[in-house]
Each structure stands twice: as C-alpha cells, then as structure tokens.
Amino acid sequence: MVASLMLVGVPVFLTAYGIYKRTVPVHGVAHEALNQVDSEVYTLLDVRAYNVSYKEPLPGAFNLPISYFTRGFKEIPNKPIHLFAENQLEKNLAIRLLRQKGFHVESYSLMGENHEDKMHTACC
C-alpha cells in the first residue's frame, strides 16, 4: 500500500513542480521598459524562439532560446542580465535556468505585452 501511494505521489509532485517553475513569479527581478535598458551595463539576452525573434530583432541582444540553453549558456557574456522574453512563462523559466547556472538576472522586458514600446528607440 505504501509503495503504491509513493508511485502515485511522485508523478503528482513532478507535475506540481513543473507548474511551479513555469507560473510562479521569480522575485528580485525588476520589470523595465524596453527604452530604459542600458546595453553598456547589461548583457541583453533574448530567450525568445528563433522563429519569433527574427521577426522582431533586438539590436545588440544575444539571442539564445530556452530550448538551446543547455548547449549555449557558456557563450553568454558575464555581466548582469536584462532578459527579453515573449511571455511570463518564458521569463520565469529562463530566470530559473540562468540562476541555476550562476547568472545574475537584474531585469526583464516582455516583448508580447506592449507593441508601442519596442526596441527601435531603445538602448543601441
């Protein structure tokens, strides 16, 4: 009986943990408008998928989609990071992955939230 409860508990725990990683906001990371980001101070990291980011490129940003993170994270410059993500889910997951690898994510911008605040007038 105990073994069968453990077998049921493990998938439930893994499901709950997966939901937590994606949906619960990460504390200590400020939201910044795109036009307030200083590329001299931050590494501009775009974690949007390539098929999304090529349509709206961010000048001066290092593009590394989350799906390529494990093989490309060593190429990220060692400065505080300003993260560009498409949505909250992508932002939460990327910040947690970056923190696991020892990076400091200072701030973020969500590209899908406000189309009048684009990078064309921003940092570079």
Domain count, the chain: 1
Binning pLDDT at 50, 70 and 90, where does residue 13 land? low
What is the C-alpha separation between 69 and 89, in angstroms, rounded?
A: 16
Residue 72, domain CATH: 3.40.250.10
What is the C-alpha separation between 83 and 32, in angstroms, rounded?
A: 10
Its domain, for residue 72, covers 2-121
Nearest CA to 124 among 33, 40, 57? 40
Per-residue pLDDT reduced to its tens digit, 29-39: 999 988 888 88
Per-residue pLDDT reduced to its tens digit, 43-91: 999 999 999 999 999 989 999 999 999 899 999 998 999 999 999 999 9
Q: Higher model confidence: residue 13 or residue 15?
A: 15
* Residue reference for tokens 């709206």: 56
Q: Average pLDDT for residues 87-103, to the nearest whole number?
A: 93
The answer to whether the CB of 112 falls within 8 A of the CB of 36 is: no
